[in-house]
Structure 1
């Protein structure tokens, strides 16, 4: 990977065209550089572990297949069962959709690198993948926040729950979450698309992650890095604060419940939500911080952690809800038994 000081830039002096090209040729020869198409990037996969790419592809593809099966099963069961057409399960469907789409922007390309050495990607294609990848991650966070509000309304205001959250309200909240995600994430590819990239745009990653692409820029990326950091802390910080506030009130309300059955039911539902949020936010914050401050950490460790963060939560979410939510577990059991 070239450093910014070695990046090729157009000559802007007062020399003639032929003299300009001679200076450029001398420069390129001195640093052993070659001309390349700046609109084409190369994703090299996991540096240092190229010989193990085929073996690494096994857990990648396994996690991805389990994730697809679990989330599509959840969508199918909720869609078929009228009794599950409730705000909680509609939000679960929104979460399942983000869990299907997010790894789909990563795993197929990663497997193409691991199996067929398909490393090339256009700049437009890379920036587009980056936009949708981060946009759906922000949507995922918004969905978890809405689910926390749903549990707060159900437990703390059970008599008004049916009027507070209805299907149209869920749709509106989903639309707000989508608009927020687009507005926050759109500046990332726009800022990068206006920057000059190095002659050899080699991305040491399996995906077009924002920081990995930003490192290919030959110019000053301080604004891009600051925006990325602010974005991470604003979105995750805002969402986590409201989620923590909601669950603080929920736990306070649960402790007041005298009925053991109602107490246990509310606790089981909240436990499932808390487990899902922990599996998302902890790896997300850890992965982002490692990418921002990666000095002294081996590149392959950073890349594997970033990939696992996008693979493991989508795989675990339907399993956690299937195990902890009795109503959903019974419906899934009904369809799996029927198929046997």
Structure 2
């Protein structure tokens, strides 16, 4: 009897480990080449050059031109990189809470683009759409916030700088160690998350979560089957949750339109906990960077969901194609 019980447990364990590895490997195949390219771009000094080019855009949203370097470092690298540049330029002593909230909101929407755009593309979402949505969405939110702050004279006090970065090791050895730690963290997160999902499914709680999220998803024009993708993106973000997002997209169990709308929403609003706390350390307003970003994302995606219904199916390939490895999947 004991051996009979062990066999299902062993089979379940092997199945889980295989699932973890497949998800992790799909993420590694995307992240490692992209991270190497980003590293070479940083060494070549192109980030600084690109930052100078977008200085006029910073003026449009009421920010010092130097903020272009901060945003470009964030878009090409990640939020930590942008924060380090923000500190190195001494901008914390020159800006108001309103200005930090503007650049912080833009950083939250458009960051880690090489990796996260590649992940979105692996789920089937077109590269040009993701870039346009995230960069354009960040600029639009920056314009809106700047207009509101100026019109109502809100948050005009000096921003408190609550964080100072550690001196980073810029050598190849230090970079490899950092990336290795990131990939190991991703592996552990994937293992824990897939195990949690299996337990929730076994206990019947996963279905309850779907029922709770159903009204929210319906408002966005998204089917309830996309609940797992939405939860992963909102909590872990696109980089750490990327492997699971790709697996769900390739499973064929979720319609193409649902995947597209889910990834569009997550492009504007993801990693609500960690990323929000990071920007908060720069002195940004919590209401703006959390609730303001969430409200903006909801409004944009609800509007886009309405417009998306008017697009003929033959034109959907401009926005979304079924990812490689996925079974035949109808757009709706």
TM-score of the two chains, using structure 2 as the length reference: 0.29
Structure showing greater Rg:
1
Higher relative contact order (CA 8 A, sep 6+): 1
TM-score of the two chains, using structure 1 as the length reference: 0.29
